[in-house]
Structure 1
Amino acid sequence: MVFIHETFNIVCHPVNMVLLLIIFPCYLVFKILHFIVRSVFSENVAGKVILITGASSGIGEHLAYEYARRGARLALVARRENRLKEVASNAKLHGSPDVIIIPADVSNAQDCKRFVESTIKHFGQLDHLVNNAGVGLLGLFEKTPDITNFTPVMDINFWGSAYGTYFSIPHLRKSKGKIIAIASCTGWLPVPRMAIYNASKAAVISLYETLRSELGNDIGITIVTPGLIGSEMSQGKVLSKEGKMVLDQQMRDIQVSLMPVRSVTEAAKAIVKSACRGDSHLTEPAWFSTMFYWKTLCPDLLEFVSRMSLVSGSSERDTVSKKLLDVTSLKKYLYPKSVRNPNLKPN
């Protein structure tokens, strides 16, 4: 009754009534028309320069291929040089006229300055900065033996994005370019076992929403909040609570359970299309947006379901979510083959 009473007071407040009945319909019409115009006049990135961090695998790798299909020139950044060489070679086969690789650690500010400068030195410009590099985490916050084991998550996911953006802004202003920030739905969805990861992605979202206000129309910003996408992270490659990169597909099964995993190829297509259209936000897959409304309207219910399915059980690896996956035998239908691949190496 308290919830109903508070909701009624909020909705029926005179100011909110004006907003709902007059301003919101006009705003909605404007947004629809604006979307149509942006779709018709979508950006052509042929010949433009795209810098992608975390390009050695997953979403970053397939974003490189999608930009390559559109004729863009690429600067690919990641720590694994051998994997970058493979991605660069494939990107050229997909149609990119020029690809360079820059091995770097995004958690190091000087490395970020270097890969931006190297891109400008080679191409003379920068049009899109895609901040994609990230590391996953699975482990209950209170169970970690050393809380500092989780610092790489914030260093890579948040600071790795902030550093590259800081050094890229002058060049993006010059080209009237864009920033594509790959955050996560967990930035607003409190998924258990991912507390620091969730916080790092919430920080990314807040950073770019603030920068959108600061930068105005000089630089476009698209904030992408992926749900479950086929990548090394959804294969089970994560930072353990001991602070080591591991391949833990059993814990992945507990966390993902019966949620369908989106093809990384299709996700990359949607992200590039959204960036070229100039969207301010994109949730991929689109149906994951419904989780935001559950979080907003029924937060207590969502938290209860999350805890009961992902945390409650006789042990950390004996949860309702894992039992549901095992009983239904639906993994082969819900998870792409690449996600079920047991041969992925932790490093």
Structure 2
Amino acid sequence: MNGQTVLITGSTDGLGRHLAVRLGAAGARVLVHGRDADRAERVRSEIRAAGGPDPVVLVADLASLREVDRLADEVARHLDRLDVLVNNAGIGFGRPGSGRELSADGVELRFAVNYLAGYRLTRLLLPLLRAAPGSRIVNVASAGQYPVDFADPMLERAYDGVTAYRRAKLAQVMFTFDLAEELGGSPVVNTLHPATYMATTMVRESGTEPCSTVAEGGDATLRLITGPASELTGRYYNGVREERAHDQAYDPDARRRLRELSDRLVAAAHARG
């Protein structure tokens, strides 16, 4: 990883933090992203203590598309190329009993953070990724996938946090397949379920007992960044095994409808200013 640049969204906790430190220690210049500057600075110090190049700290709330745009501008100010983008930032089911929430742009919050922010950020950063030979995009999704209902994509009629989370994660997978087909192998684009119920803040918040370690998820994700699977594109992995995703991910019409919905939501956010 010496000389390579890596942006990991949500790299101040859990899997993102684990990846940031491991990749930094391996010689990558890591762009540490989070919502909290103090926590991001702690990760930066951890990477420096491990002997890695001095990281760049980027603070942005991905629940706002304006902040996503600003994040992309910040990345472009620091870099003329980007070797790896890991769309890892996300929020879980929510606390038991919690209700439906909206982003700053009026989008259902889990769809906004877990999917739409990564969709927008990836598209904005494509010029930097194309400038780096062999660049890779890794979308951290989930084995928990639920089909997007295009008649009610924002879950206005019957909200449930688990359903909202799983819909957003399937949307990530659908975007991965769509983008891989569009790009034709450069950059390489893959997605994975890193591990089941890792010992993270997100899992604990939901009241679920962890059954995997963050290191297990890290190993699986690093395989898509640096291992043999990083040469393949448009694949979904459960851990280190390639598997079939939900059927909707393979439906070209559903992927087209998701792309059109995403572009409408982005355009509406910008129209509101």
Structure-1-length-normalised TM-score: 0.59
- Corresponding residue SS for 2:144: helix
Which of these residues, 72, 79, 89, is aligned with residue 28 of structure 2? 72
Tell me the residue number matched to 1:262: 212
Instruction: Give the one of 222, 232, 241 matched to 2:201.
Output: 232
Q: Give the secondary-structure state (helix, strand or coil) at the position aligned to 1:129.
A: strand
SS in 2 for 1:153: helix
- Pick one of 137, 142, 167 that aligns with 2:93: 137
- Equivalent of residue 222 in structure 1, options 183, 190, 197: 190
1:245-284 superposed matches below 5 A: 252-253=207-208, 256=209, 261-277=211-227, 278=230, 279=232, 280-284=235-239
With over 3 angstroms needed to count, the CA separation of the structure-2 counterparts of 1:145 and 1:109, relative to structure 1, is closer
Decide whether aligned partners of structure 1 residues 55 and 213 sit closer, same or farther in structure 2, where only a CA change above 3 A counts.
Answer: same
Query: What is the rounded CA distance, in whole Å, between the counterparts of 1:124 and 1:91 in structure 2?
Result: 22
Q: Percent identical across equivalent pairs? A: 24
**Residue in 2 aligned with 1:173?**
130
AA of the residue aligned to 1:110: R
Would the alpha carbon gap of residues 187 and 95 (structure 1) be closer, same or farther in structure 2, given more than 3 Å must change? Answer: farther
Residues 245-277 of structure 1 deviation map (CA, whole Å, 9 limit, x = unaligned): xxxxxxx14xx5xxx621112321331123212
CA distance in 1 between partners of 2:138 and 2:100 (Å): 33
1:66–1:272 CA contact under 8 A, matched in 2: no
Q: 1: distance between equivalents of 2:99 and 2:57?
A: 37
More helix by share: 1
Q: Once the 2 structures are TM-superposed, how far is the Cα of residue 161 of structure 1 from its aligned partner?
A: 0.9
Structure 2: distance between partners of 1:270 and 1:108: 29
2:3 corresponds to: 47
What is the aligned residue count? Answer: 225
Q: How does 1:295-334 map to 2 (within 5 A)?
A: none
- Counterpart amino acid of 1:47? G
Query: What are the Cα deviations for residues 65-110 of structure 1, in whole angstroms up to 9, with x where unaligned?
Result: 1211221001111101111010111012223212011110123223
Give 3-state SS (helix, strand or coil) of 1:51's partner.
strand
- The alignment status of 1:184 with 2:152, answered yes or no, reads no
1:198 and 2:156 matched: no
Tell me what 2:80 maps to: 124
- The C-alpha deviation readout for 1:290-314, integer Å capped at 9, x for no partner, is xx79x99xxxxxxxxxxxxxxxxxx
After superposition, what is the alpha-carbon deviation per residue over 1:38-60, rounded to whole angstroms, capped at 9, x for unaligned?
A: xxxxxxx2111101111110111
8 Å CA contact 1:68, 1:91 repeated in 2: yes
Structure 2 residue 180 is the aligned partner of structure 1 residue 212: yes
Structure 1 residue 168 displacement after superposition: 0.8
Kindly state the Cα deviation for residue 193 of structure 1 after the two structures are TM-superposed. 5.6
Tell me, which stretches of 5 or more residues in structure 2 are unaligned?
148-159, 248-273
Distance 1:145 1:268, change over 3 A: closer
Does structure 1 conserve the Cα–Cα contact (< 8 Å) formed by 2:146 and 2:163? no
- The answer to whether the 8 A contact 2:100-2:108 is kept is no
Q: 1:113 and 1:96, CA in 2 relative to 1: closer, same or farther beyond 3 A? A: farther
* 2:185 alignment partner, SS class: coil
Q: Contact conserved, 1:154 with 1:196, CA < 8 A, in 2? A: yes
TM-score (norm 2): 0.73
Match of 2:154? none
Q: Following TM superposition, where does structure 1 have runs of at least 4 consecutive aligned residues deviating by more than 6 angstroms?
A: none
